[in-house]
Amino acid sequence: MNLFFEKLTSPEIKAAAERNTLIILPVGQVEEHGPHLPIDCDCIIARETAVHLAQTIAADIPTLVLPTVWMAYSVQQVARWPGLITFREPETMIQVIYDLLASLIQNGFRKILIVNAHGNNPAILELACRKIGSDYEVFPAVTYALAMSKGVGAKVRQSAMGGCGGHAGEEETALLLHLAPETVHMDRATSEDIVQYQTRFFPGDIYSTIPDKVSGIYWSTWGVVPSKTGVYGDPTAATAATGKALFEEMIRTYVEFTHEYYRHVS
């Protein structure tokens, strides 16, 4: 069964829309991920998650995966290390996503799941989707892939707290060791940038177990703790086995959510 949107013919797209097919849109970014991971790390995670999710649910839900949106918006702090390709303004990214979603709606699709893997994207994607909902009465879901691994993250992680800082730390490095090991240079990984600042307002680790954590605060990591190497966390602790456990949890969580989303959204 073909799962790739861009490989269909025009009449097949029409038939897919009539079947109320779910569209999965992977969104990444091209930016530095330390000295040990490729700059398309977020694209790899978004794409692999989207494809694996589609393969897992396709027997129950008609599904197509779009090509990955590989360019996004990043803050200039990242530009200190070569490799960044960014929109100058976040508004451009909002417009790109809005137009992409509006085109899908014009083609007759109403159920759209965004699989995002870049930390600067959630607020931008949410704004685009709020406007789409307001203009078209179509309500895409925005998801952050790393957040879907939280069910097992605290159990399978090998690093101390501050080692899974959300950017090229143990978590992303482990995922790439599992998904694309040929792109990872473990001999260049460094533990210089373990996130030392951790409070209940700034957990400093995506699998934080700090009790009474207060969610809903945005406070840029780049402003709270400077990074020496472009990493937040401890990639030296990463293994492919941890990456496999995180990825399987992500897919499990996505499958459950996708069934609920597809069933519930009109």
Looking at residue 4, the DSSP 8-state letter turns out to be: B
Q: How far is the CB of 179 from Zn ion (least distance, A)?
A: 13
Q: How far is the CB of 16 from Zn ion (least distance, A)?
A: 31
Q: How far is the CB of 149 from Zn ion (least distance, A)?
A: 13
Nearer to Zn ion, 42 or 170 (CB): 42
Looking at residue 74, the DSSP 8-state letter turns out to be: -
Q: How far is the CB of 91 from Zn ion (least distance, A)?
A: 22
CA-wise closest residue to 243 among 121, 146, 101, 161 = 146
Q: How far is the CB of 167 from Zn ion (least distance, A)?
A: 6
Query: Mapping DSSP to helix (H, G, I), strand (E, B) and coil, where does residue 144 land?
Result: strand
- In the complex, the residues that contact Zn ion under the rule CB under 5 A are 41-42
CB 81 within 8 A of CB 39: no
Nearer to Zn ion, 94 or 168 (CB): 168
Q: How far apart are CA 9 and CA 109, in angstroms?
A: 16
Nearer to Zn ion, 40 or 249 (CB): 40
Q: How far is the CB of 132 from Zn ion (least distance, A)?
A: 25
Handedness of CA 135, 141, 146, 152 (dihedral sign): positive
Nearer to Zn ion, 42 or 48 (CB): 42
Nearer to Zn ion, 139 or 222 (CB): 222
Q: How far apart are CA 143 and CA 113, in angstroms?
A: 8
Nearer to Zn ion, 42 or 193 (CB): 42
For 126, residues 6+ apart whose C-beta sits below 8 A from its C-beta are: 142
- Compute φ and ψ for 40, nearest 5 degrees: -95, 25
Outline where DSSP puts E strands in the chain: 22-27, 63-65, 111-116, 141-144, 164-167, 232-233
